[in-house]
A and B are shown apart, each in its own frame.
Chain A
Amino acid sequence: MVQVLVGVDRETAPVVPLLKRLDLPYAHYELAHTLSAADYLSYGIEGARTPDEVESIVSSENRHARQLVESAARLLPQAKGDVLFGHPTEALLRRAEVLHAELVPVNASHARSEGVAALTGSVARGVAMGAHQSVLIARSSLLHKADDLPLRAVFATDHSEYANRCLETLIELAPRGISHLLVMSVAPELDLELLDRELPELGVSIAASVRQALERRSEHVAKRLSQEWPKVTIETALYTQPIHDAIDRALDQASAELLILGAKGHSLLERLTLGSVSLHQAIGGPCSVLILRHPD
């Protein structure tokens, strides 16, 4: 059983359709809409309304929120709906802790640009950074409008220990809706060639060694995944571009709508927080992002 806490705002799309397409077989869904005090308390500040009027506004807001979340819940099998009160990110994260949720899917920020989202704060960013669970950030797909099409995804890995544990998390989630998965990794080719020039007496090339080591590990991941998911077509790719360019390329190559990656990097700072690559993709990426966290 995988407990999933879905954060819905005024719209259910794209997160609910994406979850339907992902088709998590063991998921137990709870949908939550947060009602922030800031949403309705300002009515009282004007002084023009009596407490009774404010009360009726609040209760109608509550009713509306409940309707919204219940209608969303009908879209997912056996889902419950609930209204939470407080700051959206905090309320959602607190609820996720209480529920022992393993996945928190939310809609991506509605702000048009990355800059605005970063400055004004978005629930998606807050959840991505603050959650102890895996997070799914849903973006409406430009590629496929149809809701029932199988998903094509990219799994980006650096083959660190954490990334390997995240792979296990992914296997536990067992999304049945994925039809094609590209396992990608990146080698900093130019920097490694520098090393080769420094060590001409070494009979083997360091750049080629790293490339082959990454390829071998990607093959291993692909093999592991195809054992678990025999119906999914799996390919591997190694890129030598900077990481974000490489991810863009991989998404293009696989015509993917979903990017799957581990939450943390492998430098000391990134181990403590959300990895910079994951953050960048969560906030500004072109497609939906599944940020995997391993509970440890």
Chain B
Amino acid sequence: MKIVLGADLAMAGGNSPVVGLLKRLRFAQAQTDVVHAVPPPTYTGWEYDPVIAPAVLAEAAQRDREYATEAMEKVVIELGGDSKPVVTMGNPTERLMMHADQNHADLIAINGTAAGPLVAFLTGSVARGLVIGAHQSVLLARGASEELRPLRAVLATDHSPYSERCMARLTQLWPQGIQHITVLSAFPEERIRAMEPMLPTMAVEPTQAVRETLEVKNKALIEKLSGCFHPMLTTFESRVSSLDVHEAIAEAMKETEAELLILGAHGHSFLERLTLGSVSFRESVFSPYSVLVVRA
């Protein structure tokens, strides 16, 4: 499998969340391209000088490139395994996506937004751009990654057909480093309850029935997943929540002490099928934990 790691120069200093997380996830037979896009020159004024400008610009760009290549080499060494540095010029989001498309990558991994969510949302972030625009699954790493700590994840699913495909994709990506996966699904109990007066009285409440169905589906999914993950290495649990989906995710992440949230990219309303689902968008941009948005 092919991973495109979007790297910035700061990563050369080590202790980068995304490098740590990738190492801990241990994707099977991963080839990693450590891609850095040198942003277009921001210095102004030089270009108006007809004599010096081209030479100075070329020189500056070359210097940037060399510096970046050196930095990427360091990241590659830290990452280890089958990886190589790639340095290009241009807008980071665009370059990353283009490189991923050209090389048929399966996953784009980058650091999540470091700035606060509101700032990131307003000023634009590479993470947000990728989550919206990429055709591949996207891994956003946040927070310090301790290598020795077991990696626990929450897998949020609505059991829609798309979500099922995403789960199949996840087994292809095969992150062997996850020790514990909590399969989470949520349903709007309050709203169903509010509509119960429209129904004839029934001994089996619709909310109870939906909860049972989700539990059965969670168990089926766990069975499917545990066929792919090593039973000695990865354990599973099922969780059905009646909270609002974002609250449910936050609660599950907290209670299971998980560091990684895994979810499918699309929702199942018509509009959400066409674009990125609102849940995955919100979670990937605003959440404080690492997020793996799976695309099928």
Spell out A's residues near B (CB within 8 Å). Answer: 158-161, 163, 187-188, 191-192, 194-195, 198-204, 206, 208-210, 212-214, 216-217, 265-267
The answer for the CA separation of A209 and B212 in the assembled complex, in Å, is 8
The answer for the CA separation of A213 and B158 in the assembled complex, in Å, is 19
Are the C-beta atoms of A213 and B267 separated by less than 8 Å?
A: no
Are the C-beta atoms of B269 and A163 separated by less than 8 Å?
A: no
Contacts of B269 in A (CB 8 A): 200-201
Within 8 A of A (CB), among B194-213: 195, 198-204, 206, 208-210, 212-213
The answer for the CA separation of A188 and B159 in the assembled complex, in Å, is 24
The answer for the CA separation of A265 and B159 in the assembled complex, in Å, is 34
The answer for the CA separation of A160 and B205 in the assembled complex, in Å, is 10
Spell out B's residues near A (CB within 8 Å). Answer: 157-160, 163, 185, 187-188, 191-192, 195, 198-204, 206, 208-210, 212-214, 216-217, 267-269
Shortest distance between the CB of A101 and any CB in chain B (Å): 28
Shortest distance between the CB of B296 and any CB in chain A (Å): 15
Are the C-beta atoms of B201 and A267 separated by less than 8 Å?
A: yes
Contacts of A206 in B (CB 8 A): 192, 206, 209-210
The answer for the CA separation of A210 and B185 in the assembled complex, in Å, is 18
Q: A-B pairs with the 7 shortest C-beta distances?
A: A203-B158, A160-B203, A213-B209, A209-B213, A158-B203, A209-B209, A210-B209
Are the C-beta atoms of A214 and B204 separated by less than 8 Å?
A: yes
Are the C-beta atoms of B192 and A204 separated by less than 8 Å?
A: no
Q: Could you say which of A195, A201, A213 contacts B204, with CB atoms under 8 Å apart?
A: A213
Are the C-beta atoms of B213 and A265 separated by less than 8 Å?
A: no
Contacts of A187 in B (CB 8 A): 202
Are the C-beta atoms of B198 and A204 separated by less than 8 Å?
A: no
Are the C-beta atoms of A204 and B201 separated by less than 8 Å?
A: no
Are the C-beta atoms of B200 and A204 separated by less than 8 Å?
A: no
25 A-B contact pairs sorted by A residue (CB < 8 Å): A158-B202, A158-B203, A159-B204, A160-B203, A188-B200, A192-B206, A198-B195, A199-B188, A200-B269, A201-B269, A202-B187, A203-B268, A204-B159, A204-B187, A204-B210, A204-B214, A206-B206, A208-B213, A209-B212, A210-B202, A212-B209, A213-B209, A213-B213, A214-B204, A217-B204
Known interface pairs A203-B159, A203-B185; A191-B210 also in contact (CB < 8 Å):
no
